[in-house]
């Protein structure tokens, strides 16, 4: 089984760096359990990352203002609504899944999204806020647990 762990975000935008920083930490702690990648791109530009993988985990920042910053959220790809235009992402995961099916691309059959509720997505050059730094530890544990479950299922 081939697994991708993809951290999304922008290191220049305060808490938006959480996906990238978390995947870096995971790649050191869980070397050999999955392929790890990071990206600042969005929308259809992400398509190439997923090709050839059986399963994938996406790690990203989220700001719902419904949870305290640092809260880990687990989302299933099929429950993510299509992106409403206009959007800075232009296309989202539902559109990527639809395109991969239409083009018969070798795309992961299971995608899990782990997002961390953040506080500040806009401060250029700002540090990650303390609540988000604290939440990253739990995020690492949740992703590691998911990888263990998948690896045990295929052992």
In the structure encoding, which two tokens stand for residue 114, read together? 């782990």
Report how many domains make up the chain: 1
Question: pTM of the predicted model, to two decimals?
Answer: 0.88
Distance in angstroms (rounded) separating the CA atoms of residues 143 and 134? 15
137 Cβ neighbours under 8 A, 6+ residues apart:
none
Q: Which domain holds residue 129?
A: 3-153
pLDDT of residue 122: 82
User: Residue 24 is part of a domain; what is its CATH number?
Assistant: 3.40.50.1450
Interval 18-53: pLDDT, tens: 999 999 999 999 998 999 999 988 777 888 899 999
Interval 82-141: pLDDT, tens: 655 545 445 666 777 778 878 888 889 899 999 999 988 888 888 899 999 999 999 999
């Amino acid at each position: 089984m081939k697994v991708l762990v993809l951290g999304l975000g922008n290191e220049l935008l305060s808490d938006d760096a959480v996906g990238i920083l978390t995947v870096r930490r995971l790649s050191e702690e869980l070397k050999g359990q999955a392929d790890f990648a990071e990206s600042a791109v969005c929308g259809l530009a992400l398509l190439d990352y997923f090709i050839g993988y059986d399963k994938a985990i996406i790690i990203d920042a989220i700001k719902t203002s419904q949870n305290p910053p640092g809260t880990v959220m687990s989302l299933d790809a099929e429950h993510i609504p299509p992106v409403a235009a206009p959007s800075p992402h232009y296309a989202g995961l539902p559109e990527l899944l639809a395109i991969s099916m239409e083009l018969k691309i070798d795309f992961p059959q299971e995608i899990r999204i782990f997002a961390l509720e953040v506080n500040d997505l806009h401060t250029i050059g700002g540090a990650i806020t303390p609540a988000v730094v604290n939440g990253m530890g739990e995020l690492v544990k949740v992703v590691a647990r998911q990888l263990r479950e998948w690896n045990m299922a295929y052992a």
